[in-house]
Structure 1
Amino acid sequence: MWRSEDVTTTIKNKIGLGVIGCGNISMTYLRNAALFAGVELRACADINAEMAAVRAHEYNIRALSVDQLLADPEVDLILNLTVPAVHFDVTMSALDAGKHVFTEKPLATSAEAGRKLVQAAKAKGLLLGSAPDTFLGAAGRRARLLMEQGAIGKPVSGTAFMMGRGMEHWHPNPQFYYQPGGGPVFDMGPYYLTMLVNLLGPVVRVMAMATKGQDQRLITAEGPFQNTSFTVGTPTNVLSLLEFQCGATVNFGASWDVFRHSNHPIELHGTEGSLRLPDPDTFGGTVSLSARGADWQDFDSDQQLFGVRNWPFDAPDRANYRMVGVADLVRALHEGRAPRASGDLALHVLEIMEAILLSGENQQSVTITGSVAQPPLLGEDEARSLLV
């Protein structure tokens, strides 16, 4: 069990980070870990021991079994990068082992499971954080600052669209993306919904319609499953209407049945103007403001903190600073506060996503019973202080 008197000593000596799940997404976190202060990679584990050994060799850390990693006294914080279906089991096991946890999204595959994780972390005095942390990037911080400055006045309406062709054309084993706990709402929805909650506050009611564009999907990506088909087990085309506590209503569409479109990722409209945001799956991009119908004023983030293009490594075309949420959690531990990318925030987003699918199934509006406070704005000085 974590003891409060250990905080100062551990922060001074850096928080020991153990990674569980060494697949594609782990490469981003492992590489970015060196950018942030207060955390040090110690070990990794994966159900595939060979994959863990590869990552351990690449980053000069130890490859352990999951049980060994959870029992390791040099590991204080678990970074859960497993597939969504086992997020709950791995996170709960880590909390039971007395470890703080930051997990990839979604927090769990059901709101009930997510609530158990949040309750367990609080009962044990441990911090729980969850991706996405993209709202802490340059574009997200700029948009939040403009909203707090009243740039669009009182928010009234908005749109958010995540549309594409899915995963099977690039991912070698995409089947899990199309099962319960996956789909465009659970897989990509967290980026959009977390950004919206960060900007507008909690959602109180949802209405939606949900369909499948195809019952079977053909894998065309290179790999062991190329040219094989699989059954789709969750909606892939969802249109929803979100009512926020602040009174704003936002249309949110999430689809993997669209070849091409021209919708902006996020637009918000208020009594004094309109705000346009880039893809919330990245940390950078251009935020644009129209004050009372004037021409768009662009705020580019290419030269801003956590906005500089750094990914892919060999030919960067976007900003990818996954790990900033982990760094903020470590700082939160030191300061005795909740992390910005908190379990509470992820739980609220999970409740919204579950309500969207439920509404699409029963064709009725669904009330969101839980709530969450907007995470505090990450100021520029504090953001800079998270870096090595």
Structure 2
Amino acid sequence: MRRISILGCGFVADLYLRSLQAMEGIEVAGVYDRDAARLDRFCTHWGLPAKDSLTRFLDEAPPGGVILNLTNPAAHYELNRACLEAGHHVYCEKPLAMEVAQARELHALAAARGLLLASAPCSVLGETAQTLGHALRKGIAGTPRAIYAELDDGFVPQAAYEKWLSETGAPWPYEDEFRVGCTLEHAGYYLGWLISWFGSVRTVVAASAETVPDKTGNGPMAPDLSVATLFFENGPVTRLTCSIVAPHDHSIRIVGDRGVLSCDAAWVNSARVRFAKRMTIRRRLMENPFPRRIRLPQPTHPKVKRWGAAAMNFMLGPAEMLEALEQARPCRLSADFALHMTEVTLAIQNAGETTGAQAMTTRCDPMEPMPWAK
């Protein structure tokens, strides 16, 4: 039995537990949250053992297991450090830390202690991302020349977000979301895919801004719109857009010499991947209006039903860490991957109006595909 421990019982924790129901052979050894009432409600609902202090939680976390840090982003650095110093492997909800220097410290600490350190999101391990990666490796669209990726969530400041509750009644942390920002929260969903396929980003040229002032909560608020151009060391130029103001659009389009690979749902592990071949009809250049679907042989990984806007198995990341430990192999969600994704994401978020080109200082290799996607 592989064992995990859960730190934090807020909104996202229920999504992890619902995903856990689809997995086999993973047991929750202990749970802690500083809010005693929230801890009790969460553990009662899911039938999990609660720990009454952080010290007890860390002391009783099983050796060789993984701690899931699902706390608010402002606490990630401090708690990740505490978990690593206590000798535990850590899987952290995004972002790994709120500053690059903090992320570097965590990376160095994990390396010094011989521990795994990984960061969400883990959708890069999902069927959709792996299908696109497979199509790229097989050259289905030819050499990729440009990528457009969108992570727009609609005009969220006018949404009924105060009524958004998790399965055990935890409210969506809208004040924290507005302060942390949509780029730190969401860029990783496509950025992780891109880095897994092409490796390191060499240069980020981005702009970010707060376009909707006076959001609910105490500021300062983070940018609610960012647009980035990413120059990879070994990949195509990519435009990545994040916002909570533009109409909902979670599409990605990979433009190759032979046509366009695409999918429309970053938050769905089994979203359709399509290829539209480029052709000329009566002197008109166009992509086939009836693209064919690209599929991988089944089965791939356990799926979960849609909840809200997503149909993602949040436990794919922790499961990958546990399997890597069991098999004594490198983890696909490496500390290098987490650190590089953090640096690139923060470069986009903090770009503002005048930053210009930013050279990245961290590096990571492309990710080994999942066995069922090779």
Instruction: Give the TM-score category using the shorter length.
Output: 0.7 to 0.9
- 1:111-150 correspondence to structure 2 within 5 Å: 111-150=100-139
Contact 1:217 1:232 in 2 (8 A): no
Counterpart of 1:105 (choices 94, 99, 105) is: 94
Partner of 2:49: 62
Whether 1:364 and 2:353 are equivalent positions in the alignment is no
* Displacement after TM superposition at 1:358 (Å): 4.0
The one-letter amino acid of 1:286's match is R
CA 239–317 in structure 1, closer or farther in 2 if over 3 Å, else same: closer
Q: Which moved more, 1:20-29 or 1:279-288?
A: 279-288
Shift in CA distance, 308/100, structure 1 to aligned 2, threshold 3 Å: closer
User: What residue is the counterpart of 2:257 in the other structure?
Assistant: 271
Q: CA contact under 8 A between 2:258 and 2:277: conserved in structure 1? A: yes
Deviation at 1:23, TM superposition (A): 0.9
Q: Does 1:17 align with 2:4?
A: yes
Q: CA deviation digits over 1:131-171, x for unaligned, max 9?
A: 11111111111111111111122221111111122366324
Deviations 1:291-338 (A, max 9, x none): 34452112368x8534755133xxx98532111111110111122222
Output the amino acid matched with 1:175: E
| Runs of 4+ deviating beyond 6 Å | none
2:156 pairs with one of 152, 155, 166 = 166
**For 1:225-264, what aligned pairs fall within 5 Å after superposition?**
229-258=217-246, 260=247
Alignment partner, residue 187 of structure 1: 185
Q: CA deviation at 1:270?
A: 1.9
Tell me, what secondary structure is at the counterpart of 2:294? strand
1:194 is paired with a residue whose SS is: helix
Shift of the alpha carbon at 1:266? 0.9
AA matched with 2:211: G
Amino acid at match of 1:131: A
2:369 aligned partner: 377
Shift of 1:373: 0.7
CA distance in 1, matches of 2:62, 2:235: 47
| Alpha-carbon distance in 1 for matches of 2:318, 2:135 | 25
1:261-310 alpha-carbon deviations (Å, 9 max, x no partner): 5x562111122322102322331211111234452112368x85347551
- From 327, 342, 348, give the equivalent of 1:350: 342
Q: Is the 8 A contact 2:22 2:304 kept in 1?
A: no
Gapped regions of structure 1 (runs ≥ 5): 1-13, 219-228, 383-388
The aligned amino acid for 1:101 is V
User: Is 1:328 matched up with 2:323?
Assistant: no
Match of 1:178 in 2: 178
Shift of residue 98, structure 1, vs aligned partner:
0.7
Does 2:80 match 1:85?
Answer: no
Counterpart of 1:5? none
Pick aligned residue for 1:282 from 268, 282, 285: 268
One-letter amino acid of the counterpart of residue 251, structure 2: P
Q: 1:28 aligns with which of 5, 15, 32?
A: 15
AA of the residue aligned to 1:53 = D
- Identical aligned pairs, as a percentage? 26
Question: Which amino acid is 1:158 matched to?
Answer: I
Instruction: Give the superposed CA RMSD.
Output: 2.4
TM-score (norm 2): 0.87
- C-alpha distance after superposition, 1:11-44 (max 9, x if no partner): xxx2321100001111121232243344311110
Please tell me the residue identity of whatever aligns with 1:58.
Answer: H
1:19 and 1:366 map into 2 onto residues whose CA distance is: 36
C-alpha displacement of 1:73? 5.0
CA distance in 2, matches of 1:83, 1:282: 24
Paired letter, 2:30: A
Q: Could you say what secondary structure the match of 2:156 adopts? A: coil
Code of the aligned partner of 1:68:
R
Q: For the residues of structure 2 that align with 1:337 and 1:166, how far apart are their CA atoms? A: 42
| Distance in 1 (alpha carbons) for counterparts of 2:160 and 2:188 | 22
Which residue among 311, 329, 336 is the counterpart of 1:337? Answer: 329
Give the conservation status (yes or no) of the 8 Å contact 1:272–1:292. Answer: yes
The whole-number CA distance in structure 2 between the counterparts of 1:306 and 1:317 is 20
Query: What SS class does the counterpart of residue 20 from structure 2 fall into?
Result: helix
- Distance, in Å, in 2 between the alignment partners of 1:31 and 1:154 is 39
Do the aligned partners of 2:66 and 2:318 also contact (CA within 8 Å) in 1? no
Any unmatched runs of 5+ in structure 2?
165-170, 280-286
Distance 2:277 2:371 in 1: 23
SS at structure 2 position matched to 1:234: coil
Per-residue deviation, 1:343: 2.5
Moved more, 81-90 or 264-273: 264-273
Select which of 205, 209, 213 maps to 1:207.
205
Change (3 A) 1:264 1:82: closer
Tell me: CA distance 1:106–1:271, structure 2 relative to 1, closer, same or farther (3 Å).
same
The code of the aligned residue for 2:293 comes to D
| Contact 1:137–1:307 (Cα < 8 Å) also in 2 | no
Shift in Å, 1:95: 0.6
**Counterpart secondary structure, 1:32:** helix
